[in-house]
Structure 1
Amino acid sequence: MCSHFPVCPSADALNREAAHVVKAHPDQGWSLLCNGVVLFEDTGLLLPDGSVIAPHRALVAA
């Protein structure tokens, strides 16, 4: 699916969010990555197999 060099990480990889954005919809709060992952602005993910990864924003120290 990926034609980038180096090849983007797969949807199963831990660094899946490092894949290139192929379609961005900031007005709707999501982007489609080269590996088929949908990345939401709250850092949640929808994987190509339909599974969901909950938002995982880093906690900010006060």
Structure 2
Amino acid sequence: MTDTRPCSHSPVCPGAHSADREAARSVCAHPEQGWSFLCNGVLVFDDTGGLHPDGTVITPHRPAPAAVAA
């Protein structure tokens, strides 16, 4: 799979299918609506889910709750 990298800044942002894809720069953010569009073409949502540029879903990946010490 090839990643679309529309950014032209340096260093180049991680590709849309990279594990660190959310480290890309935000091109457009709408926090009131709960989403941001990154320069690698990924649409990310506040629930930690998202969409790749090809429309495939990125499932939410919230951290597991911390264990409570007894």
TM bin, normalised by shorter chain, reads: over 0.9
TM-score, length basis structure 2: 0.83
TM-score, length basis structure 1: 0.93
The offset of 1:18, in angstroms, is: 0.6
For the pair shown, the structure with the greater C-alpha radius of gyration is 2
Q: Structure 1: 5+ residue runs without aligned partners?
A: none
Bigger mean CA deviation after superposition, 51-60 or 29-38: 51-60
> How many residues align structurally?
62
Q: Report the secondary structure of 1:39's partner residue.
A: strand
Given candidates 34, 43, 47, the residue that maps to 1:38 is 43
Bigger mean CA deviation after superposition, 32-41 or 1-10: 1-10
Given candidates 7, 13, 21, the residue that maps to 1:8 is 13
Runs of 4+ with deviation above 4 angstroms: none
What's the Cα RMSD here?
0.8
Q: Provide the residue aligned with 1:28 in structure 2.
A: 33
Can you list the C-alpha shifts for 1:1-55, whole angstroms capped at 9, x where unaligned? 1112110011121111110000000010000000000000000010000000110
- Amino-acid identity (%): 63
Q: Provide the residue aligned with 2:54 in structure 1.
A: 49
Q: Structure 2: 5+ residue runs without aligned partners?
A: 1-5
